[in-house]
Structure 1
Amino acid sequence: MRASLAGALLALLLVAAFLTGRFAATPEPAPPAALPPEPASLEPEESRTIAVFRAARDSVVAITTRTRVVDPFTRRTGETPLGSGSGFLWDAAGHVVTNDHVIQRASRAVVQLADGRSLEARVIGRDPTHDLAVLRIEGQDLPAPLPRPEAGEGLEVGQSVLAIGNPFGLDWTLTTGIVSALDRELPGDGGRAIRGLIQTDAAINPGNSGGPLLDARGRLVGVNTAIFSPSGASAGIGFAVPVATVARVVPQLIETGRYSPPSLGLGFDARINAAVNRQGLSGALVLEVAPGSQAARAGVEPARVARGRLLPGDVVVAIDGTPVENLDDLLALVDRRRAGEAVTVTLSRGGRLREVELELIEGR
């Protein structure tokens, strides 16, 4: 009786457990969460940036320099690391363009290519006035030079630009930005300003010097040369020498080892002219006219000294209509031209203005 009652109760409990789900079958595991969708395709701007970097990367080089030192105790000569910078291939002959300050005090320079090769480089020419220099490397299958815009194509503020270099030794770094301003100037070698610079917010840091600034089509538009930063790191204000200047300077460096700007055939003196400007006279005071020169034939008269006093002659106050406030202005305007070009020179003498046409000659 008790056994049958116990069995009946057990049966009722089993039925209740079944009905309440206490002994329900183990549920199937939940399906895994759906994977996130595949990344969206690249935006056109991203694709262009990637393509430009891939096309230009091999043409950019890293430059390390060393300098000779003499042990003060043993008097033995050795070498010590000096610094590093960037550069890029200019032509198929292995000429590499960089900044002059990158190799300024170097006794030896080594160029590292993107494929890992390290090649000894020799200095071909330097131009401190534009902070440009040319090295040359020799080897098989050297990278192709960077393409350049057609002559006459200009940059616009707001245009996209890319910088490739080796900031802080981090090889082949890409940064992007825009052209922030044009025709900037910075103090240069010997106190003479470097003019006509491109200002960009593409991050430029120590080690980027000498690397290329490219447009959105991968063409060379400048050579990164300096930054403005109280801390020494990028503050969004970088400067580059425009390609038009590079195209004037580099061929001369390759051919002669130095850059000689064209000349009006007139003589000037920076200290005397600065003193004259401080007295309120604008322009560039002519101090010398070569006898028989085109300037002499045009009647240009230099200043002269009489009874211990400087008697002004002609003062250059404009070139092709662009005002000349001082000698630096004159040199900058002439520097943008080539020998053989004719320019209209506005002269002032005794308060009277006149114009003469002079042909620029090869500088010395």
Structure 2
Amino acid sequence: MPVRLLRFGILWFLFLATLWTAEPYLRAWLFASDSPRPVTARADLAEFERNATEVFALRAGAVPLVATGGSGRVGTGSGFVWDQAGHIVTNHHVVAGFGEVIVRFGIERPIPAQVIGAAPDYDLAVLRPKVPLDLVEPIPLGSSSDLTVGQTVYAIGNPFGLSRSMSAGIVSALDRRLPTGSGREIRGVIQTDAAINPGNSGGPLLDAAGRLIGVNTAIYSETGSFAGVGFAVPVDVVNEIVPQLISQGHAPRPGIGITTLDETVAAGLEAPGIVIAEILPGSAAEQAGLRGINPQAQEIGDVITHVDGQRVRTVAELAEKLAAAGIGNEVELTVQRAGAERTVQVEVIDIG
């Protein structure tokens, strides 16, 4: 090959290589523009998008941020307007132990509120704003008895204090049981995968029609943040308890007038059931002759093993049986004392 041809080939190769390397820069230079790009028109919103935006537009205005303070502590949660009188429903754990409560609707000024009723057994509380709420419509009620797994739900609340946030998901499961701080359980709890985080507590869970179907109350997460499993108190329970909180300040609590030994401690003692720690003076348990722990003699008194012939091992199970019997009715308790077993009739009373 002639030397001149070889040199030409090398030069041509170098030219092509340089052109290849510089191509992006050449394109950027040739097509650069200092004008905004034209907007591409989109089609109409999909049906599920329209539904979500409509629900948020209709209901978000009734969901305030609930802020608490006092004794050097602060907290935030959510709530929703319950009725035309302006009562606001939230979780009991959002306001429990706080001396000051305010509600804030959007950017409007904070409104002081008073806790007028609380039901720790259901993790529900009712607030009464100290000034009238103008033009805030309460959220209409749905039903939780006819929910089905898979149907769309929306959660509106204030996660991490960020006001009026919405998340969407489905009903993941029904009839869950959720322990409360009082040692009892809420039955019929709704499980959802709609994102629920700290601050969502007390906010509404809505169906696709924008109706209240539950009150967001807890998440299951090792980190304390959303992990795909959230829980809501079913609206059928809420609709039973909230009117009582408004009218009476509390919900009836079926009981017999005892305190019980911590279940972990009782298990360590290898007790066969629920250990009665103390009998409340004047209670149905006292009238029935039940006995608690004798601290002087260091003796265990009565241990409840059955209610109406059905085995009970936890306080939640005992509470469930007493609630099923109803206040004013009697139950038959099977108890053990010093190895001897007997049955006693005890009236179910409201322990308030």
- The TM-score normalised by the length of structure 1 is 0.67
Matched with 2:260 is 270
Relative to structure 1, is the Cα distance of residues 172 and 275 closer, same or farther in structure 2, using a 3 angstrom cutoff?
Answer: closer
| Shift in Å, 1:114 | 4.4
Indicate which of 36, 39, 43 corresponds to 1:39. 43
Alignment of 1:20-35 (within 5 A): none
Post-superposition shift, 1:136? 0.7
Aligned counterparts of 2:68 and 2:157: Cα–Cα separation in 1: 16
Aligned-pair CA distance for 1:84: 1.8
Q: Does 1:132 pair with 2:136?
A: no
Measure the CA separation in 2 of the matches of 1:120 and 1:276: 44
Deviations 1:266-305 (A, max 9, x none): 3444118877665362468799799997998xxx774699
1:326 aligns with 2:314: yes
1:98-128 superposed Cα distances (whole Å, 9 cap, x missing partner): 1223223433222122483532212212333
- Which residue of 2 is the match for residue 147 of structure 1? 140
Aligned 8 A contact 1:316 1:345 in 2: no
Counterpart CA distance in 1 for 2:193 and 2:218 is 12
User: 1:42: Cα distance to partner?
Assistant: 2.2
Quick one: which amino acid aligns to residue 261 of structure 2?
R
Provide the C-alpha distance between the structure 2 equivalents of 1:272 and 1:116, rounded to a whole number of angstroms. Answer: 46
Residue 9 (structure 1) aligns with: none
Which entry has the higher C-alpha Rg, 1 or 2?
1
Give the SS at the match of 1:83: strand
In the alignment, which residue of structure 2 is the partner of 1:48? 51
The answer to whether 1:208 aligns with 2:200 is: yes
Q: Percent identity?
A: 38
Structure 1 residues 285 and 317: CA distance shift in structure 2, 3 A: farther
Aligned residue identity for 2:81: L
The 1:353/1:174 distance shift into structure 2, 3 A limit, reads: farther
Structure 2 portions without partners, runs of 5+: 1-37
Secondary structure, aligned partner of 1:249: helix
Determine which of 279, 288, 292 is the counterpart of 2:270.
Answer: 279
From 95, 102, 120, the counterpart of 2:87:
95
Question: Within 5 A, what are the aligned runs for 1:1-364?
Answer: 38-43=42-47, 45-67=48-70, 82-114=74-106, 116-137=108-129, 138-150=131-143, 153-186=145-178, 188-189=180-181, 192-196=183-187, 197-263=189-255, 266-271=256-261, 279=270, 281-282=272-273, 302=290, 315=304, 317-318=306-307, 324-335=312-323, 339=327, 360-364=348-352
Once the 2 structures are TM-superposed, how far is the Cα of residue 363 of structure 1 from its aligned partner? Answer: 3.1
* Cα deviation, residue 155, structure 1: 3.3
Give, in whole Å, the separation in 1 of the partners of 2:282 and 2:68: 47
Give the SS at the match of 2:127: strand
Secondary structure of 1:233 counterpart:
coil
- Structure 2 SS opposite 1:189: coil
CA gap of 1:267–1:100, structure 2 versus 1, over 3 A, is: closer
1:137-173 deviation line (CA, Å, top 9, x unaligned): 13153422222235x7243333322100011222111
Superposed CA RMSD in Å reads 4.2
Alpha carbons 1:94, 1:142 under 8 Å: kept: no
Q: What letter is aligned with 1:206?
A: P
- Is the 1:129–1:194 contact (alpha carbons within 8 Å) kept by the matching residues of 2? yes
Equivalent position of 2:15 in the other structure:
none
**Structure 1 residue 87: deviation in Å?**
0.4
Contact 2:121/2:186 (<8 A) preserved: no
Amino acid at match of 1:317: H
Shift of 1:212: 0.9
TM-score between both structures, scaled by the size of structure 2: 0.69
Give the conservation status (yes or no) of the 8 Å contact 1:67–1:82. yes
Question: In the alignment, what sits opposite 2:18?
Answer: none
Query: Counterpart amino acid of 1:238?
Result: G
Q: 1:117 & 1:246 partners in 2: Cα distance?
A: 29
Residues 305-330 of structure 1: CA deviation (Å, up to 9, x unaligned): 99x776869x56356x9753333211
Deviations 1:26-80 (A, max 9, x none): xxxxxxxx9856414522x3333333222222221112233255xxxxxxxxxxx
Q: What is the aligned length?
A: 307
